[in-house]
Amino acid sequence: MKSIQVNPFIIGAYAGSHYFCDCERETDELVQDLTNVRNVVLVAQRRMGKTGLLLHTFHQEKISKHYNVFFIDIFATASVREFVYAFGNAIIDQLKPRDRKFLDRFLQIITSLRPAAYTDTTLPERTLHLCR
């Protein structure tokens, strides 16, 4: 019977420090650079883990407890207006309390519903439908 090997590397979103391997020296350097207010430029080929390294650094205690971090992928922005919109949304989402995020999502769902009332003239009943 052939065993199936599972890829231990998670592709996509940052899954936490438990799944982040190596790059301890680079993480420590980035933490030092950020806490000392130094400008940093990360340069590497595509798919080398730059975004993961940044997100891992942002989740370090020295950063996450003392700073509000806003991560924005600006690749999809085509103008200054789109950048400002993305930047503003990131700031609002990050600084919004968790219970407020839930309330906003709930209100978004409620406002997206379209009520429709029907009365059947042949039957003595009324029907109310909620559609999205």
> 74-99: per-residue pLDDT in tens?
888 899 999 999 988 888 888 777 66
pLDDT of residue 76: 84
Q: What percent of the chain has pLDDT over 70?
A: 71
The token pair at 124 is 């003595």
In a domain, 87, yes or no: no
In a domain, 72, yes or no: no
**Position 122 confidence tier, pLDDT thresholds 50, 70, 90:** confident
Domain that holds residue 44: 7-64
In a domain, 24, yes or no: yes
In a domain, 58, yes or no: yes
In a domain, 105, yes or no: no
Question: 74 CB contacts (<8 Å, ≥6 apart)?
Answer: 83, 86
In a domain, 96, yes or no: no
Three-state SS annotation for the chain: CCCCCCCCCCCCCCCCHHHCCCCHHHHHHHHHHHHCCCCCCCCCCCCCCHHHHHHHHHCCHHHHCCCCCCCCCHHHCCCHHHHHHHHHHHHHHHHCCHHHHHHHHHHHHHHHCEEEEEECCCCCCEEEEEEC
pLDDT of residue 31: 93
What is the tens place of the pLDDT at every residue in 15-54? 666 666 778 898 899 999 999 989 989 898 887 788 888 8
Instruction: Domain count for the chain, please give it.
Output: 1
In a domain, 28, yes or no: yes
Specify the pTM: 0.58
In a domain, 49, yes or no: yes
